[in-house]
Amino acid sequence: MGGQIKGSDMTDSPQLYQTIPFYIPSLSQSEFLSLPEKRTSLADFLTSGEIVVQLSIKERIMDIVIDTSALLAVIVGEPERERIVKSTSGHTLIGPGSIPWEIGNAFSAMIKQHRLGLAEAQQGLQIFHTIPLRLVKVDLENAISIANQIKLYAYDACFLDCAVRYSAPLMTLDRGLERAARKLGVKLMEA
């Protein structure tokens, strides 16, 4: 039997969940009430031979706001790549809708600096398109307000707006954006 428990903290973002199995005994009410005296551990219960019913509860998968610097580290194989992949695995990556343009701009700059060629940049874009990333709408008025308050560019403020509105930690390799996030009280994830 599968069950579903919905949280009361619904936001405007869709919630994603993982299923976690747990077991309850098939007991009469009086047997159930005396259960603490009958069972001293989960192992004792599971090896008792009683009929069990599997139910499911749902555990929320965390949203993580990921910025362009962290995405590029994954795409081009920077030393932080494995840590980023490991710490974000199983969670939902989100970011402002401007990320594709920022990724394109970064690859364009790398071509101009002769750090890579056109074919390598195009391969990097193909990798980018395979990353499961949910682009979210930005509250531009709030982003501009954040940019003014913290004295940074609106592009960076868009990531902070997402982190604040979705109550999500920020993953970045950009030290300036890290400092701005701390000033705003945004939780940071280590990369």
Write out pLDDT tens, residues 66-113. Answer: 999 999 999 999 999 999 999 999 999 999 999 999 999 999 999 999
How many angstroms separate the CA atoms of 57 and 17, rounded? Answer: 9
CB 67 within 8 A of CB 160: no
User: What CATH architecture does domain 63-189 belong to?
Assistant: 3-Layer(aba) Sandwich (3.40)
Reply yes or no on whether the pLDDT at 16 is more than 50. no
Of 10, 152, 22, 170, nearest to 88 by C-alpha is 170
Mean pLDDT of 1-18: 36
| pLDDT score, position 51 | 45
Indicate if the pLDDT at residue 44 is higher than 50: no
Confidence of residue 191 (pLDDT cuts 50, 70, 90): confident
- CB-based burial label for 119 (10 Å; 0-12, 13-18, 19+): exposed
Which residues have CB under 8 Å from 187's CB, separation 6+? 163, 169, 170, 181
pLDDT, residue 172, reads 97
pLDDT tens-digit readout, 22-32: 333 444 444 54
- What is the C-alpha to C-alpha distance for residues 125 and 103, in angstroms, rounded to an integer? 8
pLDDT at 163 over 70: yes
Decide: helix, strand or coil at residue 94.
strand
Over residues 57-63, mean pLDDT: 65
The pLDDT tens digits of the residues spanning 106-142 come to 999 999 999 999 999 999 999 999 999 999 999 999 9
SS (H, E, C) 162-174: HHHHCCCCEECCC
Lowest mean pLDDT among 20-29, 32-41, 58-67, 159-168: 20-29
Q: What is the pLDDT of residue 48?
A: 53
Q: How confident is the model at residue 190 (pLDDT cuts 50, 70, 90)?
A: confident
Domain boundaries, the chain: 17-60, 63-189
Task: Tell me which residue of 56, 126, 145, 128 sits closest to 93, measured CA to CA.
Answer: 128
CA angle 151, 157, 160 (to 5 degrees): 120
Q: What stretches of the chain show up as alpha helix (H) in DSSP? A: 29-33, 35-38, 42-46, 68-76, 81-88, 99-112, 118-130, 140-150, 154-165, 175-184
For the segment 50-70, the average pLDDT, to the nearest whole number, is: 69
